[in-house]
Structure 1
Amino acid sequence: MQCVPSYAGGDKYQVECGLDSQHVVDLVENSCSCKNWDLTGIPCMHALAVIHLKDEFPKTYVQTWYTKQTQLQIYSNFISSVRGPKQWASLSNMLPILPPPLRRPPGRPIKVRRKELDEPQTTKG
């Protein structure tokens, strides 16, 4: 599908894709009226048409959380390993944790079986 961008004033551009599809792209706010760019942080096809019109690089409009530097900062903290159960401290003064008591309703449990399609339906009454 071919998208044709046109300047709409200010920092906004109108992008026409097909007969009934028009979207407004704002390169300063990093948003498009289709909301894909707003949700993902990656320019949608409407924004890419405007970026191509302005002869700029799409990479500069991708959110910073997708960059290699941000990913390296996220995983830069050292995660210490957990010791095995044999090395855990024993808590001898603690009572064992038991499951909650089972409470059954009074009376006989109701048993309802599924009837076949050709079996007559009976009702109590």
Structure 2
Amino acid sequence: MAMMVFNTNVIRSMQCNIEWNGDDGFEVLEGVYKHTVNLGQQKCSCRSWKLKGIPCAHGIIALNHLNMDASQAISSWYRKETYLKTYSRFIQPVSNMKMWPERRNSIVEPLEARQMLGRPPKTEEEKLVK
């Protein structure tokens, strides 16, 4: 799944123009939209890289501009080693709800309905009469 998104972004990155903006910064023009990329923070103004953990098209073209491997910028939670480490232990079943310990807290009841301040709204009949 991550590689499918990455490959789609690689294809999109081929249609972008890039300008260096000092240190780790780049400005990437994609159609009429301009995005800023900071490679040091692995961040783009489109926010896709931070949200998904997969470099966006703008980040990929910036990494390629510096001759860096963009696939190494994919977050570690998509790697097979992370998956295997996560599920390496057995998951213990949860006991039946009847076996759960009794709660010591009081039951939270909803608040009583209060009369709202101000004039009540007109009903449909009152609107039709006028």
Give the TM-score taking structure 2 as reference length. 0.58
- For the pair 1:55 / 2:64, whether they are aligned, the reply is no
> Which has the larger share of helix?
2
How many pairs does the alignment contain?
Answer: 90
Higher relative contact order (CA 8 A, sep 6+): 2
Q: Please report the RMSD computed on the Cα atoms of aligned residues, expressed in angstroms.
A: 2.7
* Runs of 4 or more consecutive aligned structure 1 residues displaced over 6 Å after TM superposition: none
The equivalent of 1:14 in structure 2 is 27
Aligned mates of 1:48, 1:27 — CA distance in 2:
10
Task: Give the greater-gyration-radius structure (CA).
Answer: 1
- For the pair 1:74 / 2:86, whether they are aligned, the reply is yes
Q: 1:6 corresponds to which letter in structure 2?
A: E
Deviation string, structure 1 residues 51-106 (Cα, Å, up to 9, x no partner): 121121112111111111111111011124679xxxxx9xxxxxxxxxxxxxxxxx
Report the 3-state secondary structure (helix = DSSP H, G, I; strand = E; otherwise coil) of the residue aligned with 2:84. Answer: helix
Give the TM-score taking structure 1 as reference length. 0.61
* Identity %, equivalent residues: 35
Q: 2:34 corresponds to which letter in structure 1?
A: Q
